Amino acid sequence: LVVAEQFGTLESLYPGRIDLGLGRAPGSDPVTSRALNNDISRAENFPNEVSELQTLLGPYEGTKRVRAIPGENTNVPIWLLGSSLFSAQLAAKKGLPYVFAGHFAPRFVHDAIALYKREFKASNVLAKPYVMLALPLVAADTDEEAQYLSTTSKQRVLSLIRGDELWLKPPVETMEGLWSEQERTHVESFLGLSVTGGPASIKHKLEMIVNQLEVDELIFTNDLYDDEKRHRALKILMEIKN
């Protein structure tokens, strides 16, 4: 109910500009999750909670005992987020658009998207499957600069693996000495779908990903330490799109 009313409020303020992404993950580390009284076992009830939100954000029915005000009849678009086959299957069953978390879980990307498209059932929301893919982006004016800047995201993933703070760190000339071979393997697997390079390389890689996976939309993470470099990366992306 709280989520429905919060997003109903946003939709009322900014009509047509709000999407609601729903996923099973607690959204934090286990310690923080417990402090927020998030019961991890609630993930098992996720399909029912999605259905409940669809009802709360849908048109009024006389049988409704609980109503979201605002929220009711806003029909805020719901996307299912996931990094596993479970979320792909649920999105297909409910006829909802699907977002795959390629920015941290590239291993299942082919299987998840294929399963979603294969089992998709048309709904009053979608007539055919619609896939968004999340990707890590490190764009710069040259391939060499992009490789240098990418060490910030590599250090961040390394911190995640070690359970350290996730603050962005300045880029370094080399990662040698900062990680073990095993950690390097984990980091490179984590960032397996990273799109890194200058404008020409970025364009080529994105076209290849879109063609191979047949996705409809892309969304990016952009872990760059310097604000100006981050803005430049987004400008390069915009220029490629145009």
Give strand pairing partners of 220: 135
How many whole angstroms separate alpha carbon 195 and alpha carbon 225? 17
Encode pLDDT of 120-137 as tens digits: 999 999 999 999 999 999
CA angle at 106 for the pair 36 and 35, rounded to the nearest 5°: 5
Predicted pLDDT of residue 40: 57
Predicted pLDDT of residue 41: 59
Nearest CA-CA partner of 158 in 168, 147, 148, 144 = 168
How many whole angstroms separate alpha carbon 233 and alpha carbon 142? 11
**Lookup result for tokens 């709904």:** 123
Predicted pLDDT of residue 18: 95
Burial class (CB within 10 angstroms; exposed 0-12, middle 13-18, buried 19+) of 83: buried
Predicted pLDDT of residue 36: 58
Residues in the chain: 242
CA angle at 111 for the pair 108 and 113, rounded to the nearest 5°: 100
> Predicted confidence band at 155 (pLDDT cuts at 50, 70, 90)?
very high
Looking at the chain, the whole-number percentage of residues with pLDDT higher than 70 is 93
Encode pLDDT of 195-226 as tens digits: 999 999 999 999 999 999 999 999 999 999 99
What average pLDDT does the structure give for the chain?
Answer: 92
Predicted pLDDT of residue 115: 98
Encode pLDDT of 69-84 as tens digits: 898 889 999 999 999 9
Given a cut of 90, whether residue 62 has pLDDT beyond it is: no
Given a cut of 70, whether residue 138 has pLDDT beyond it is: yes
pTM metric for this prediction: 0.89
How many whole angstroms separate alpha carbon 226 and alpha carbon 171? 9
> Predicted confidence band at 67 (pLDDT cuts at 50, 70, 90)?
confident
For the record, the structure tokens of 230 come out as 């981050």
Predicted pLDDT of residue 33: 55
Q: How far is CA 227 from CA 50, 168, 230, 232, 233, in A?
A: 36, 11, 5, 9, 10
Report how far Cα 4 is from the mean position of its chain's Cα atoms.
Answer: 20
Encode pLDDT of 28-44 as tens digits: 555 665 555 566 556 67
How many whole angstroms separate alpha carbon 75 and alpha carbon 78? 8
Predicted pLDDT of residue 97: 98
- In the chain, where the domains are located: 1-76, 79-129, 136-241
